Chains A and B, each alone.
Chain A
Amino acid sequence: MADTPTLLTGETKAGDWRNYERVILPPIKDLHKIEVYEDHGGYDALRAVVKDGKFDPKGLTDEVKASGLRGRGGAGFSTGLKWSFMPPVDPEKPRYLCCNGDESEPGTFKDRQIFEYNPHLMIEGIVLACYAMTIKTCYLYIRGEYIDYVHHVQKAVDEAYAKGYVGKNVLGTDFSTDIVVHWGAGAYICGEETSLMNSLEGKRAYPRIKPPFPAQAGCWGMPTTINNVETLADVPLIVNRGAEWFASIGPEKHTGPVLYGISGHVNRPGVYEYPTGMLITDLLEIAGGARGGKRIKAVVPGGSSTPPLTWDMAEPATMDAETLREAGSSMGTAGLCFLDEDTDMVSFTRRIAHFYHHESCGQCTPCRDGTGWLEKLLTRIDEGEGYTRDLGLLLELCDQMEGRTVCALADAAAWPVRWGIRRFRDEFEAKCKAAAFAGASLGDGSALETGELTPTGTPTT
Chain B
Amino acid sequence: MTPNSFISPQPAYVPGEPVERHVADEELVWTEDEQQQIAAFRAQYPTHDGAVMKGLWLAQDKFGWLPPEVIQFVAETLEIPYAKVYGVATFYTQYFKEQKGQFVLDVCTCFSCQVCGGYDILHYLEDQLGITKGETTDGGLFTIQEAECLGACGSAPMLQVTNGPYVHNLTTEKVDALLADLRAGNMPGFQSVTLPQDEDELGGNRRSDTDAVTTYQTPPVSETLH
Residues of A that sit less than 8 Å from B by CB: 22, 25, 27-33, 94, 103-109, 112-113, 116-117, 143-148, 180, 182-188, 199-205, 220, 261-273, 287-288, 291-292, 300, 304, 335, 337, 339, 342-344, 347-348, 351-352, 355, 358-359, 361, 455-456
B225 touches A182 (CB 8 A): no
Knowing A94-B46, A147-B164, A201-B49, the reply to whether A263 touches B87 (Cβ < 8 A) is: no
Please tell me which one of the listed residues A25, A143, A261 contacts residue B153 in the complex, with CB atoms under 8 A apart: A261
Q: Interface residues, chain B, CB within 8 Å of chain A?
A: 1, 44-54, 56-57, 80, 84, 87-88, 91-95, 109-112, 114-116, 148-156, 160, 163-166, 190, 192-193, 195-198, 201-202, 206-209, 216-219, 221, 225-226
Which of B47, B166, B202, B216 contacts A269, CB < 8 Å?
B216
Beyond A103-B151, A348-B115, 20 additional contacts (C-beta under 8 Å) are: A27-B198, A27-B202, A106-B148, A107-B111, A108-B153, A145-B151, A185-B92, A261-B153, A261-B154, A263-B154, A263-B156, A269-B156, A270-B196, A272-B196, A273-B197, A287-B196, A291-B219, A343-B115, A344-B225, A359-B148
Hey, which chain A residues are within 8 Å of B192, CB to CB?
116
- Shortest distance in angstroms between B8's beta carbon and chain A's nearest beta carbon? 16
A25-B195, A180-B44, A272-B197 given; A187·B91 CB < 8 A:
yes
The smallest beta-carbon distance between A390 and chain B, in angstroms, is 19
| Residue with the greatest number of chain A CB neighbours at <10 A, chosen from B92, B164, B192 | B92
Chain B residues lying within 8 Å of A267, measured Cβ to Cβ, are: 218
- CB neighbours of A187 from chain B (8 A): 91-93
Q: Which residues of B contact A94 (CB under 8 A)?
A: 46
Known: A112-B151, A204-B87, A358-B148. A264 touches B47 (CB 8 A): no
- Given the complex, which residues of B lie within 8 Å of A204, measured CB to CB? 87-88, 91
Taking the nearest CB of chain B, how far is it from the CB of A23, in angstroms?
Answer: 12
Check A144/B163 contact, CB under 8 A, given A185-B93, A344-B225. Answer: yes
| Subset of 12 A-B contacts with CB under 8 Å | A30-B208, A31-B206, A182-B53, A183-B53, A202-B53, A202-B88, A265-B219, A268-B196, A269-B155, A269-B219, A343-B226, A347-B225
B188 to chain A, nearest CB (A): 11
- Closest residue of chain A to B164 (Cβ to Cβ) is A147
* Complex CA distance for A288 and B215, rounded to whole angstroms: 14
What's the least CB distance linking B172 to chain A, in Å?
19
Give the residues in chain A near B155, CB-CB below 8 Å: 269
Expressed in whole angstroms, the Cα–Cα distance for A145 and B152 within the complex equals: 10
Which of A146, A268, A287 sits near B151, CB closer than 8 Å? Answer: A146
- Least CB distance from B217 to A in Å reads 8
The answer to whether B111 and A352 have CB atoms under 8 Å apart is: yes
How far apart are the CA atoms of A266 and B220 in the complex, in Å? 10
Q: How far is the CA of A185 from the CA of B115 in the complex (A)?
A: 26
Chain B hits for A262, CB < 8 A = 154
- When the two chains form their complex, are residues A264 and B116 in contact, meaning their CB atoms are under 8 A apart? yes
Residues on B with beta carbons closer than 8 Å to the beta carbon of A335: 153
A30–B160 touching, CB < 8 Å: no
Q: Report the 4 A-B pairs with minimum CB-CB distance, sorted nearest first.
A: A202-B49, A185-B92, A186-B94, A263-B153
CB distance from B146 to the nearest CB of A (A): 9
Contact A27 B197 (CB under 8 A): yes
Residue of A nearest to B197 (CB): A272
**Interfacial chain A residues near B44, Cβ < 8 Å:** 180, 182
B196 to chain A, nearest CB (A): 4
Question: Within the assembled complex, what's the spacing in Å between the Cα atoms of A107 and B112?
Answer: 6
Whether B50 and A264, one on each chain, are in contact in the complex, defined by CB atoms closer than 8 angstroms, is no
A355 to B87: give the CA distance in the assembly, Å: 22
Tell which of B56, B149, B209, B225 touches A355, judged by Cβ atoms closer than 8 Å: B149
Inter-subunit contact A117/B207 (CB<8 Å): yes
Report the minimum CB–CB distance from B49 to chain A (whole Å): 3
From A144, A184, A270, B154 is in contact (CB under 8 Å) with: A270
Contact B195 A185, beta carbon cutoff 8 Å: no
Residues of A within 8 A of B109 (CB): 351
Q: How far is the CA of A263 from the CA of B148 in the complex (A)?
A: 16
In this complex, what residue of B is CB-closest to A206?
Answer: B91
For B116, the chain A residues whose CB sits under 8 A away are 263-265
Q: Are B160 and A145 in contact (CB under 8 A)?
A: yes
Contacts of B115 in A (CB 8 A): 264-265, 337, 339, 343, 348
For the complex formed, measure the closest distance between the CB of A419 and the CB atoms of chain B, giving whole angstroms: 15
Residue of A nearest to B200 (CB): A27
Chain A residues within an 8 Å CB radius of B221? 291-292
Please give, as numbers and ranges, the residues of chain B lying within 8 Å of A31 by CB-CB distance.
206
Given A261-B154, A342-B226: A28 touches B206 (CB 8 Å cut-off): yes
A258 to B53, CA, bound (A): 32
Q: Which residue of B lies closest to A291 (CB)?
A: B218
Q: Indicate the member of A183, A270, A335, A339 with the most B CB atoms within 10 Å.
A: A270
Closest-CB distance, B54 to chain A (whole angstroms): 8
- Give, as a whole number of angstroms, the nearest-CB distance from A288 to chain B: 7
Specify which chain B residues have a CB less than 8 angstroms from the CB of A147 in the assembled complex. 163-164
Closest to B155 in A: A269
For residue B93, which residues in chain A have a CB less than 8 angstroms away from its CB?
A: 185-187
The contact of B150 among A116, A145, A337, A361, by CB within 8 Å, is A145
Q: CA–CA, A220 to B48, complex, Å?
A: 12
The distance in angstroms between the C-alpha atoms of A106 and B156, with both chains bound, is 12
Task: Specify which chain B residues have a CB less than 8 angstroms from the CB of A265 in the assembled complex.
Answer: 115-116, 219
Partner of B92, one of A186, A300, A358: A186
The interface residues of chain A lying within 8 Å CB-to-CB of B208 are 29-30
Cα of A182 to Cα of B51 in the assembled complex, Å: 9
